[in-house]
Structure 1
Amino acid sequence: MTDGMIPAIEGYLSTLSTVPGETIQLFASSNAGECSLTIVREGEPEEMVHEENGIAVGDHPIPERAWETGPGWPRCWELTIPETWRSGVYRVTLAAERAPNLETHSHWSKLCASHDILLVVRARKPASTSKILLQLTTNTYAAYNSWGGKSTYAYNSSDRDQGHRVSLLRPGHGYHNTAFFLWERSFVRWCDREGYALEYAVNHDLETWPDGFNDYRLILSVGHDEYWSSPMRDNLERFIGGGGNAAFFSGNSVCWQVRFEDDGKTMVTYKEHYKEDPLYTPEGHPLLATLFSHPLVNRPENYLTGVGFPMGGYHLSHDAYMDGPGEYTVKRADHWALEGTGLNEGDVFGAENTIVGYETDGCAYHEQNGYPVPTCDDGTPEDFVIICQAPSRWTGMEFDVYQEAGVSNDGRATMGSHTRGGTVFTAGTTDWAHGLKNDPIVQRITRNVLDRLSAD
Structure 2
Amino acid sequence: TFLRPIRFSHHGGAFFRWLEDQKDYNFGVVCDKDLDDQGVFNACTELVILPGHSEYWTRKARLNFDEFVLKGGNALVLSGNTMWWQVRYSVDGNKMICYKNEAEDPELNKTLKTVNWTNPKLDYPIVESIGLNFDLGGYGKKEDLGWDGFKILTTSSLIFDGINIAPLDILSLPSDEYDGAKLEFSAETSLPTLINDFGFHRYELFGFDIASRLPNSNGAWVAFQRTDSSGIVINVGSTNWCHEDGIYGVDSYRIQQLTRNMIHILKDLESKDSVESVFN
Give TM-score scaled by structure 2 length: 0.84
C-alpha contact (below 8 Å) 2:144/2:212 kept by paired residues: no
Cα distance, 1:198 vs structure 2 = 1.8
2:258 maps to 1:452: no
Q: Mapping of 1:121-200 within 5 angstroms?
A: 167-170=1-4, 172-173=5-6, 175=7, 179-180=8-9, 182-195=10-23, 196-200=25-29
Q: What residue ranges of structure 1 are gaps of 5+ in the alignment?
A: 1-166, 395-407
- Partner of 1:446: helix, strand, or coil? helix
- In the TM superposition, what whole-angstrom CA distance separates every residue of 1:79-100 from its partner, at most 9, and x where no partner exists? xxxxxxxxxxxxxxxxxxxxxx
C-alpha contact (below 8 Å) 1:312/1:361 kept by paired residues: yes
Letter in 2 for 1:448: N
Q: Distance in 1 between matches of 2:204 and 2:264?
A: 19
Aligned length, in residue pairs: 259
2:234 maps to 1:390: no
C-alpha contact (below 8 Å) 1:374/1:380 kept by paired residues: no
Letter in 2 for 1:213: N
Q: 1:286 is matched with which residue?
A: 111
- In the TM superposition, what whole-angstrom CA distance separates every residue of 1:419-450 from its partner, at most 9, and x where no partner exists? 13111011110001232226221011101111
Select which of 160, 179, 188 maps to 1:361.
179
C-alpha contact (below 8 Å) 1:260/1:268 kept by paired residues: yes
User: Which structure carries more strand by proportion?
Assistant: 1
Q: Which has the higher contact order (CA 8 A, sep 6+)?
A: 2
Q: 1:142 is matched with which residue?
A: none
Cα distance, 1:286 vs structure 2 = 2.1
Q: Mapping of 1:160-309 within 5 angstroms?
A: 167-170=1-4, 172-173=5-6, 175=7, 179-180=8-9, 182-195=10-23, 196-210=25-39, 213-271=42-100, 273-279=101-107, 285-309=110-134
Cα distance, 1:216 vs structure 2 = 2.6
Cα distance, 1:280 vs structure 2 = 5.8
Q: Distance in 2 between matches of 1:239 and 1:385?
A: 21
Structure whose alpha-carbon radius of gyration is higher: 1
- Partner of 2:207: helix, strand, or coil? strand
2:234 maps to 1:425: yes
- Partner of 2:106: helix, strand, or coil? coil
Letter in 2 for 1:227: Y
Cα distance, 1:374 vs structure 2 = 2.7
Distance 1:202-1:415 versus aligned 2 partners, 3 A rule: same
- Partner of 1:191: helix, strand, or coil? helix
Q: Mapping of 1:362-381 within 5 angstroms?
A: 362-367=180-185, 372-377=192-197, 379=198, 381=200
Letter in 1 for 2:219: A
- Partner of 2:179: helix, strand, or coil? strand
Select which of 247, 253, 257 maps to 1:440.
253
Letter in 2 for 1:415: W
Q: Distance in 2 between matches of 1:361 and 1:212?
A: 24
Q: Distance in 1 between matches of 2:199 and 2:182?
A: 8
Q: 2:139 is matched with which residue?
A: 314
Distance 1:304-1:447 versus aligned 2 partners, 3 A rule: same
Q: 1:348 is matched with which residue?
A: 170
- Partner of 1:304: helix, strand, or coil? helix
Q: 1:34 is matched with which residue?
A: none
- Partner of 1:332: helix, strand, or coil? coil
Q: Distance in 2 between matches of 1:211 and 1:333?
A: 34
Identity of aligned residues (%): 25
Q: 2:278 is matched with which residue?
A: none
Give TM-score scaled by structure 1 length: 0.53
- In the TM superposition, what whole-angstrom CA distance separates every residue of 1:339-359 from its partner, at most 9, and x where no partner exists? 221322111122xxxx24101
Q: Distance in 1 between matches of 2:58 and 2:210?
A: 29
- Partner of 1:240: helix, strand, or coil? helix
